């Protein structure tokens, strides 16, 4: 009878644990076209079968989020996106009617975040963005910002006590992300489209250093920006568990779900 080396037994044990690792996906959209292509009950089934136990969900318009809340209330953590339809990404910050929409939804429903919204540089200085930040402060909401570092800095200048989830901060270099996390204690990073090319089994050394320096500030995100991305949720969950398995268990659990739970728990 042949015995596997101890190191392989440990690796296999880690992989088995990773397969069962619950995930909090911090970047999910369920917009009007996704509702048509992937009806709410099917979307809820996809999340459950992927082992996504919680998901921060926003949509254009907000009706998609509310439908998914109804279909999977135990999973969905609702966020309010300021877009009423696709195509407003580059114009919403100059449209004061957006505020009427956001205020109306806030009066009707409960949310944990505003966003994901797109804003870069001095977009933050527009009256619409300034009012959005004021509403986040009034309602104690996280800001989920698809932004460059300049815009993130301006958010904190406007509201020093803001809580910001930096969407796609994986687009930037790990060094830049670490610098921003050092500067702002209430900034978190979602890793949708992380900038390295991990095989699914290992993590780039620079990103690993970032995770180790800030074990409580990173979380996974799929970003279902188009309806067909919904069919990728299970694959992305498997991919995420693959590279998480290469990390020490406490760090893997933090990134998988604990960091997002803590971040949003602060808003209770």
The domain defined by 21-263 folds into TIM Barrel (3.20.20)
pLDDT in tens, 205-236: 999 999 999 999 999 999 999 999 999 999 99
Residue 60: both structure tokens together = 């254009």
Classify burial at 32, counting beta carbons within 10 Å of its beta carbon; exposed 0-12, middle 13-18, buried 19 or more. middle
Confirm if 31 and 67 have CB atoms less than 8 A apart. no
Boundaries of every domain in the chain: 21-263
pLDDT in tens, 27-59: 999 999 999 999 999 999 999 999 999 999 999
Mean pLDDT value of segment 72-100: 95
Mean pLDDT value of segment 76-102: 94
Which residues are registered as beta bridge partners of 188? 165
Residue 237: both structure tokens together = 């969950």
Mean pLDDT for the chain?
Answer: 91
Asked if residue 62 has pLDDT above 80, the reply is: yes
Mean pLDDT value of segment 171-190: 96
Omega before residue 78 within 30° of 0, cis: no
pLDDT in tens, 161-170: 999 999 998 7
pLDDT at 194: 81
Percent of the chain residues topping a pLDDT of 90? 84
Separation of alpha carbons 17 and 23, rounded Å: 13
Asked if residue 4 has pLDDT above 60, the reply is: no
């Amino acid at each position: 009878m042949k015995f596997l080396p101890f190191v392989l037994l440990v690796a296999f044990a880690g992989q088995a644990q990773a397969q069962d690792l619950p995930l909090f996906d911090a970047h999910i959209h369920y917009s009007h076209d996704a509702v048509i292509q992937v009806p709410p009950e099917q979307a809820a089934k996809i999340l459950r079968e992927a082992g996504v136990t919680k998901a921060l969900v926003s949509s254009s318009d907000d009706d998609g989020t509310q439908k998914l809340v109804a279909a999977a209330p135990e999973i969905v953590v609702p966020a309010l996106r300021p877009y009423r339809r696709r195509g407003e990404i580059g114009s919403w910050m100059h449209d004061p009617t957006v505020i009427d929409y956001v205020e109306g939804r806030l009066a009707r429903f409960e949310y944990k975040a505003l966003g994901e919204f797109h804003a870069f540089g001095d977009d933050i200085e527009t009256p619409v963005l300034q009012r959005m930040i004021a509403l986040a402060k009034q309602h104690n909401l996280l800001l989920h910002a698809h932004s460059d570092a300049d815009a993130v800095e301006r958010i904190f200048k406007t509201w020093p006590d803001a809580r910001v989830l930096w969407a796609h901060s994986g687009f930037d270099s790990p060094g830049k992300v670490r610098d921003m996390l050092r500067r702002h204690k209430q900034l978190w990073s979602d890793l949708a489209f992380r900038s390295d090319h991990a095989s699914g089994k290992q993590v780039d050394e620079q990103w690993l250093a970032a995770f180790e320096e800030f074990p409580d500030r990173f979380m996974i995100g799929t970003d279902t920006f188009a309806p067909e991305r919904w069919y990728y949720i299970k694959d992305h969950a498997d991919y995420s568990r693959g590279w998480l398995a290469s990390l020490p268990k406490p760090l893997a659990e933090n990134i998988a779900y604990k960091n997002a739970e803590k971040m949003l728990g602060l808003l209770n």
